[in-house]
């Protein structure tokens, strides 16, 4: 059964009505095949390098998501992919693992072609084989005749089929080839089908085809090809998702892409957009009831790939359902459908109300309630918080990525926070003894916790690192849970360059433990002071979260 937004009971019915008005019913039209190539095509992205362990873990996560095919790599290309196929055989998966490779070399017989033998050695039941479709590539890249290329396609596929393999044929550069010479492009896929290919994948390898061209060509090819078709689109014109959806409209059965759209050059078609668009907008079955795992898988692949998350990515980005404008916030709190096209929970995401100088009283009330503090909209503290927020942002503070600092600000304003420690003073020394030698940093911190004073020194790779070490060292004896905290990210932004090195800076820190992440902010014309503010808030937030027991309607937090 399709997971539509209407299956989520407490989401406003306006979303359901909007979907119905767009012609969507409660039943799927038909099922599609989702073919993931993150481990092969995605691994070709700049700045991405997967280890064998990485690939195995991603394959397991893709299987949990419910994709039908997982392209594991090219076993003839490198030892890493050979090892992956050996390892993945021992792991039970519902998805079909696919090996990828090319047609034989023109100078080799099929029985002696190393690429084909490596594909067989991978021992996958399904193999995706790509071949040349565009005459330009046949003559200029391979340096062979058009007739010889047809021979390579046919006997390579036939050989793999004779060995008991199921073969999908990737018609590389198909759309460019079809536009240049439609008759030859069709001959290549006819040879593939004749040899036993069960799927023909039409590839927009250079990513330069427009949606209206995809529509026309897919319609024409469907009349000539007796086996189901697939689409493999690249994103060089920002059209990969659109082209994939148009191809589905024209009867394509299999959709290929990568998680988060990673891939060579500008990337591949993004399955994190394609899948929910198919499920929620086009009423087509893909991964069915596992759609709510989509954001989790997106984040997992981003983390394993060691990439910065794209918070503005549709559906799964942190900002996809974030609201900043006061008018937007006021409306969305009454009815999420006013500014959200689906229920975020359908894809495993959540609604967020951002705190900024654009926020109004409704936004402050909503954020306070999320912290367990009940405020009425007309309470004096609400307007006080709005004014304080606007003034802080005017000074250079930014709370959108620092909600830990904002929660502390709210709690302090309403009298619901007691600092865990008091700063009595700190000093930071930076020393460099040799021109080409490293600099040394030492920080000394004096704090009061209750009736006790702690005076601690620590060294670090830089002044902020030393200050962080010294502060933690002085507090961990009182609060051992601080040992769990890790500094995940540290950003410095010069707010105005007019003053040169005296300019005011904003420091944003992201911290985390085993279960949570939080952001904190500091602003000053002294980078050490700004860093101190953010570090202190990070620690205060950790201690707040560790000790906080929020009731449904806590009496002591109710301010009317």
d(CA 466, CA 552): 41
Nearest Cα to 550, choosing from 320, 399, 342, 369? 369
Distance of CA 532 to the CA centre of its chain: 31
How far apart CA 190 and CA 223 sit, in angstroms, is 12
Q: Is the pLDDT of residue 356 over 50?
A: yes
Q: Residues 6, 19: contact at Cβ < 8 Å?
A: yes
Cα(196)–Cα(199) distance, integer angstroms: 9
Q: Helix crossing, 527-547 with 463-475: angle to 10°?
A: 30
Residues 500-505: what's their mean pLDDT?
78
Token pair 């690429």: residue: 115
- What is the C-alpha to C-alpha distance for residues 383 and 398, in angstroms, rounded to an integer? 19
The 3-state DSSP class for residue 112 equals helix
Confidence of residue 359 (pLDDT cuts 50, 70, 90): low
Q: What is the pLDDT of residues 223-274, one digit of tens each?
A: 999 999 999 999 999 999 999 999 999 999 999 999 999 999 999 999 999 9
Considering the domain architecture, whether residues 165 and 250 belong to the same structural domain is answered as yes
Over 70: is that where the pLDDT of 161 sits?
yes
Domain check: are 144 and 40 in the same one?
yes
Q: Would you say residue 255 lies in a domain?
A: yes
CATH of the domain at 431: 3.30.160
104 shares its domain with 226: yes
- Res 499: pLDDT: 66
* Percentage of residues in the chain having pLDDT higher than 70: 89
| Confidence (pLDDT) at 207 | 97
CA 233, 238, 244, 247 dihedral sign is negative
Domain boundary among 245, 276, 304: 304
DSSP code of 130? E
Q: Is the pLDDT of residue 183 over 60?
A: yes
Look at the block and give the residue holding tokens 């009595």.
Answer: 424
List the domain range (segments joined by +) for residue 336: 319-352
190 and 152 together in one domain = yes
Q: Considering the entire predicted model, what is its pTM?
A: 0.70
Which strands form 505-512's sheet, in the order they lie side by side? 486-494, 505-512, 517-524
Give the pLDDT of residue 401.
Answer: 67
Phi, psi for residue 325 in degrees, rounded to 5: -70, 140
Q: What is the pLDDT of residues 87-116, one digit of tens each?
A: 999 999 999 999 999 999 999 999 999 999
| 495 φ, ψ (degrees, to nearest 5) | -80, -30
Q: Are residues 335 and 207 in the same domain?
A: no
Q: Provide the number of structural domains found in the chain.
A: 3
203 CB contacts (<8 Å, ≥6 apart)? 130, 133, 170, 171, 172, 173, 174, 175, 232, 233
Region class of 208: left (phi > 0), else alpha (psi between -120 and 50), else beta: alpha
Region 427-440 average pLDDT: 86
Distance CA(184)–CA(203), nearest Å, equals 15
> Which residue would you say has higher pLDDT here, 494 or 209?
209
Strand partners, 236: none
Domain match, 79 and 124 both: yes
Helix (H, G, I), strand (E, B) or coil at 434: coil
Q: What is the mean predicted confidence (pLDDT) over 163-178? A: 98
Residue 271 near residue 257, CB atoms below 8 Å: yes
* 73/182 same-domain check: yes
What element of type H or E holds 94? none
Instruction: Give the integer Cα–Cα distance in Å for 31 and 254.
Output: 10
Query: Tens of pLDDT along 113-158?
Result: 999 999 999 999 999 999 999 999 999 989 999 999 999 999 999 9
Residue in 291, 247, 250 with CA at minimum distance from that of residue 273:
291
Query: Angle formed by the axes of helices 361-370 and 380-395, to 10°?
Result: 100
Average pLDDT, the chain: 86
Out of 275, 304, 333, a domain closes at 304
Q: Is residue 559 assigned to a domain? A: no
**Of 270, 304, 338, which residue constitutes the final position of a domain?**
304
Same domain (yes/no): 278, 140: yes
Residues 337 and 245 in one domain: no
In terms of Cα–Cα distance, which of 185, 187, 167 is closest to 110? 167
**289 plus 325 within the same structural domain:** no
- Name the 3-class secondary structure at 403: helix
122, two tokens = 């991978």
Give the pLDDT of residue 28: 36
> 18: Cβ–Cβ under 8 A, 6 or more apart, which residues?
337, 341
- The verdict on 113 and 147 lying in the same domain is yes
Do 230 and 334 lie in one domain? The reply is no
């Amino acid at each position: 059964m399709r997971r539509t937004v209407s299956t989520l009971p407490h989401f406003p019915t306006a979303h359901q009505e909007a979907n119905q008005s767009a012609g969507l019913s409660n039943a799927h039209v038909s099922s599609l095949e989702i073919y993931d190539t993150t481990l092969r095509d995605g691994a070709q992205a700049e700045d991405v390098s997967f280890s064998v362990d990485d690939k195995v873990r991603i394959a397991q996560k893709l299987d949990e998501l419910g994709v039908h095919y997982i392209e594991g790599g090219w076993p003839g290309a490198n030892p890493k992919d050979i090892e992956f196929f050996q390892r993945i055989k021992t792991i039970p998966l519902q998805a079909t693992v696919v090996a990828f490779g090319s047609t034989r070399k023109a100078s080799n017989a099929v029985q002696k072609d190393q690429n084909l033998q490596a594909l067989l050695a991978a021992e996958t039941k399904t193999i995706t084989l790509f071949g040349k479709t565009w005459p330009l590539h046949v003559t200029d890249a391979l340096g062979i005749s058009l007739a010889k290329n047809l021979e390579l396609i046919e006997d390579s596929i036939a050989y793999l089929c004779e060995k008991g393999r199921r073969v999908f044929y990737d018609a590389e550069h198909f759309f460019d080839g079809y536009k240049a010479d439609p008759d030859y492009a069709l001959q290549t896929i006819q040879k593939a089908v004749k040899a036993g290919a069960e799927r023909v994948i039409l590839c927009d390898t250079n990513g330069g085809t427009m949606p209206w061209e995809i529509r026309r060509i897919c319609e024409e090819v469907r009349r000539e090809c007796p086996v189901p078709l697939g689409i493999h689109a690249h994103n060089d014109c920002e059209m990969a998702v659109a082209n994939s959806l148009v191809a589905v409209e024209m009867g394509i059965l299999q959709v290929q892409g990568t998680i988060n759209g990673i891939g060579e050059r500008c990337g591949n078609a993004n399955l994190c957009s394609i899948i929910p668009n198919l499920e929620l907008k086009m009423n087509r079955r893909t991964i069915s009831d596992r759609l709510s795992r989509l954001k989790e898988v997106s984040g997992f692949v981003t983390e394993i790939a060691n990439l910065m998350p794209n918070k503005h990515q549709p559906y799964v980005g942190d900002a996809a359902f974030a609201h900043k404008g006061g008018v937007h916030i006021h409306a969305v709190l009454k009815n999420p459908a006013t500014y959200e096209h689906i229920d975020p929970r359908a894809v495993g995401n959540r609604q967020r109300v951002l705190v900024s100088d654009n926020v109004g009283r409704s936004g402050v009330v909503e954020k306070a309630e999320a912290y367990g503090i009940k405020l009425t909209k007309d309470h004096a503290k609400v307007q006080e918080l709005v004014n304080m927020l606007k003034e802080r942002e005017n000074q250079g503070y930014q709370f959108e990525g620092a909600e830990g600092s904002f929660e502390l600000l709210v709690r302090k304003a309403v009298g619901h926070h007691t600092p865990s420690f008091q700063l009595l003073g700190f000093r930071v020394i930076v020393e460099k003894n040799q021109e080409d030698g490293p600099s040394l940093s030492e920080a000394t911190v004096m704090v009061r916790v209750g009736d006790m004073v702690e005076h601690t020194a620590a060294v670090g790779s830089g002044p902020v690192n030393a200050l962080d070490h010294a502060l933690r060292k002085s507090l961990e004896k009182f609060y051992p849970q601080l040992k769990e905290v890790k500094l995940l990210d540290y950003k410095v932004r010069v707010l105005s360059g007019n003053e040169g090195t005296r300019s005011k800076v904003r420091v944003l820190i992201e911290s985390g433990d085993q279960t949570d992440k939080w952001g904190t902010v500091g602003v000053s014309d002294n980078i050490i002071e700004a860093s101190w503010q953010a570090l202190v808030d990070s620690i205060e937030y950790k201690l707040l979260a560790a000790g906080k027991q929020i009731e449904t309607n806590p009496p002591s937090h109710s301010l009317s």
